[in-house]
Structure 1
Amino acid sequence: MADILESSSSDEAVFRKKLKKLEKFQGHGTELISVYIPEDTDRGAVMNQLTSELSQSSNIKSPSTRKNVQGALRKITGFLKQINFNIPSNGLVVFSGNISETEGRTDIRLFTVRPVKDLRTKLYWCDSRFHLEPLKDMLKPTSVYGLVTIDHNEATIATLIGKRYEIMGKFTSGYSGKSRAGGQSSQRFQRLREEAEQDFYKRISEKCNMVFLPFGDKFAGLIVGGPGMTKQFFLDKDMLDHRIKKNILGMLDTSYTDEGGIREMMQKSEQILKDTDVMRERAIVNDFLGELAKDGLAAYGEKEVMEALERGQVAKLLVSEGIEWLVFRISNEKTGEVKEVMDKDGKFKIDNYPDFEILEEMDFLDFMTEKANQKGTELAVVSKDSDEGEQFYSGFGGIGAMLRYKL
């Protein structure tokens, strides 16, 4: 089992996806078990506690809950024995329980999570849901960027955290251009227009203050974009809180002010956002595409990349978050043989493997993280949030590699 020495954006992408999956499961009773194991935990203490919990579970009144809890405990015990209690440097969290959505049906699965930060919590928890709060705390953002696009008609406010932006507000001005309704004096029209403009800027500023200030020291700065001079007029009004105003990173010209304008501004902010995950991801995908275009040190496709990885030929492995495959690690009860079976269409059945039992169920991303670590290969997890990421997924199947050498 590969150690995680420090958190990277790829580690966090795998971690985030696993938590999102685990959060969806709900037991029919208190039968979903979570075991948190820091690296330096005594093996005997953990195994003795699991044995004790198995013994005490015989007192559970509901026959189905008792059966499911005992099945989950045996799975966890068997898994820890199979890995010889080899705990990664950041610790390990093991989840197991009956995740079947059908009452009366048993589908006991086991999942593992390798924390992205040092795990300090030793915990055994049995409930109707997996206990994820200590892991969720590890995902709190370290830096947040504010994005605003504005013209005289509309404005859009967004946050950028890691590789993902989120639209936080959309506004329309209520005034348009320099024309006026018939019968209005030019002075009256100008006054109404200025009042509407002032109200427009005020609403945007109040929303920015409400969205960005709660991030405190994690707020890294604001970028303002849009066509024409409206963005400058907005900042000149001095309605933003001084803590935001002092962190204006730049102004950029964009053609649009809706969500498309936010994406356009991100693409044009390469220098301003050069140290962010989203720009690093764009650079990685563009390097990959560049190598492919000149028939250079790049490969794509599951078969080609996996073979290159096994040969030690891969310098950097690219995997898309969009791939939803599962990998089942199964063990032969008689011979001890361990196999890894890839399930691309959700049709895996353990019944097709006589004498085997499921040892662990993994997301494909998690599986590829292990493979990359075993080969000393850098892993880049590519989101679908950028145009480059979407192109990598839809055009190249979401699996690619930068090679050390060509055969």
Structure 2
Amino acid sequence: MKVLIRELKKWSAPATVLLSLYIPPGRPIPDVLNLLRQEASIAQNIKLKRTRDAVTSAIQSAIDRLTQINKVPDNGLVLFCGENFDTNEFKCFMFSPPEKVPIFFYRTDKSFHTEFLEDMIEESDVYGLIIVERDYATIGILKGTRIQVLEEFEGFVPGKHMMGGQSQRRIDRIIEEMYANFLKEVGEKVNAFFIPFVENKKMKGILIGGPGYAKKDFYEGDYMDYRLKKLVLQPLFDVPDQGDAGLKELVMKAQDLLKNQKYIQVENLLEEIKYHLAKDDGLVIYGISDIRKALQMGAIDSLVVYDEPGSELEKLAQEAENYGAKVYVIGDELPDGEWVKKTFGGAIGKLRYKIY
């Protein structure tokens, strides 16, 4: 699906001639055909001959394909038909997607509308990440193999003064009020970033960390929306750093809670690969040709492939999936992404057994 979307996004036209059609399950095929025939009739009024011919061809191709089926599949149907004006190539794709088509959508435009498909392949499980200390915070998310910093910001909360007497108590109250206001600001930003994920039912859990007591104050105080507070995973974690490094440390410290999460799985796999490389026990494979031979033998258990659209690596990832290997496609968002790319040509795998 990712490969198809990349292909479709390359197509463009100077006029609205590329047809996108999404048909949800339960929609009668005759109703859709009637609509397309009406659109074909309207298209005859287009003045420019090439545009008129291109629109007509796209609609007719969609009609030809839909007349060959009796019923919309359980997940619905998607059609993309049109001419690439740059290459004069004409294609028409029709398929049932991996998830149910949510709406009926028809449009001819200067590009294909792939946004509904992109929603389907987007990683559904999201984990919220919060690192908070007395006057500094980082908010981020973990999604698939990507950790993303959403915001990193600093407050101004002075340290305690030693003046004594009533002045000391007054200053302490002011400092504590500034501290509470900073935690309130953190909570407001967390709510703004995370609540949309909760409403879309994509927020799986929230991790909170930090170097001191502020993380506990933040969690126990009334700073987060109640829906978010229910998603906080325990325990709270001691994390000394902020920013991207801090978020990565937070995730790795919580790996027992995230065993089925892709970031943890690929990090653990790469650590296992490094272990086998150090032992030189013949259980690691790299090099595209050698990997292909091992795949044909059924010898590869897991494969890490650097994300490089349109390359041999992309083809290799598809082949590996067809052979039943566990495939992890990674980019520079992982600390070892550059290592896999530069040291091993973009692909490295763990074998089930020695083959040499």
Structure 2 length normalisation: TM-score? 0.75
- Aligned sequence identity (%): 31
Offset, 1:252: 1.0
1:280-331 superposed Cα distances (whole Å, 9 cap, x missing partner): 222232233333333322211222212333444433333222x1334xxxxx
Tell me what 1:387 maps to.
Answer: 335
Name the structure 1 match of 2:127. Answer: 145
2:320 paired with 1:372 = yes
C-alpha offsets along residues 237-265 of structure 1, whole Å, 9 cap, x if unaligned?
33223332233213111121223211221
Residue identity opposite 1:226 in structure 2: G
Q: Figure out how many residues of one structure are paired with residues of the other and give that number.
A: 342
Deviation at 1:147, TM superposition (A): 1.0
1:309 matched residue in structure 2 = 295
Which whole-Å CA distance do the structure 2 matches of 1:226 and 1:370 have between them? 40
Q: CA deviation at 1:175?
A: 1.9
Distance between the aligned counterparts of 1:151 and 1:123, measured in 2? 48
Quick one: which of 185, 189, 205 aligns to 1:207? 189
Matched, 1:290 2:275: yes
- Residue 126 of structure 1 pairs with residue 108 of structure 2: yes
CA shift for structure 1 position 372: 2.9
Q: For residue 156 of structure 1, what is the aligned residue in structure 2?
A: 138
- Check conservation: 1:96, 1:108, Cα contact below 8 A: no
Are the structure 2 counterparts of residues 62 and 141 from structure 1 closer, same or farther at C-alpha, using a change threshold of 3 Å? same
Matched, 1:30 2:12: no
Aligned with 1:263 (options 215, 229, 248): 248
Q: Is the 8 A contact 1:36 1:121 kept in 2?
A: yes
1:299 lines up with 2:285 in the alignment: yes
Task: Identify the structure with bigger relative contact order (alpha carbons < 8 Å, sequence gap 6+).
Answer: 1
For 2:293, the aligned partner's letter is E
C-alpha distance in structure 2 between counterparts of 1:153 and 1:185, whole Å: 23
Contact 1:71 1:108 in 2 (8 A): no
1:172 is matched with 154
**8 Å Cα contact 1:152-1:176 kept in structure 2:** no
Amino acid at match of 1:248: V
Greater Cα shift, 291-300 or 55-64:
55-64
Distance in 2 between residues matched to 1:74 and 1:395, nearest whole Å: 50
Contact 1:68 1:106 in 2 (8 A): no
2:68 counterpart residue number: none
Where structure 2 has 5 or more consecutive residues not aligned to the other structure, the ranges are: 66-72
Q: Secondary structure at the match of 1:260?
A: helix
Quote the offset at 1:73 in angstroms.
Answer: 7.8
Change (3 A) 1:110 1:91: farther
Corresponding residue number in structure 2 for 1:229: 213
Cα distance change on mapping 1:166 and 1:114 into 2, 3 Å: farther
User: Which amino acid in structure 2 is aligned with residue 271 of structure 1?
Assistant: D
Report which stretch shifted further, 32-41 or 222-231: 32-41
- Contact 2:161–2:168 at 8 Å: present in 1 too? no
Q: CA deviation at 1:111?
A: 8.3
For 1:114 and 1:318, the matched residues in 2 are separated by 28
What SS is found at the alignment partner of 2:329?
A: strand
**Deviation of residue 185 (structure 1)?**
4.3
Q: Aligned AA for 1:166?
A: Q
Gaps of 5+ in 1: 1-13, 81-87, 327-341, 343-363
Quote the residue 1:195 is aligned against. Answer: 177
- In structure 2, C-alpha distance between the alignment counterparts of 1:131 and 1:186, rounded to whole Å: 64
> Does the alignment pair 1:400 with 2:348?
yes
RMSD, matched Cα = 4.3
SS of 2:257's equivalent in the other structure is coil
Of the three residues 272, 281, 299, the one matched with 2:266 is: 281
Question: Whole-Å Cα distance in 2 between the matches of residues 89 and 255 of structure 1?
Answer: 50
Deviations 1:85-106 (A, max 9, x none): xxx9978755454556xxxx54
CA contact (8 A) 1:285 1:389 kept: no
Q: Equivalents in 1 of 2:297, 2:60: separation in Å?
A: 37
Secondary structure of the corresponding residue to residue 255 of structure 2: coil
What's 1:244 paired with?
A: 228
Asked if the contact 1:226/1:255 (under 8 Å) is kept, the reply is yes
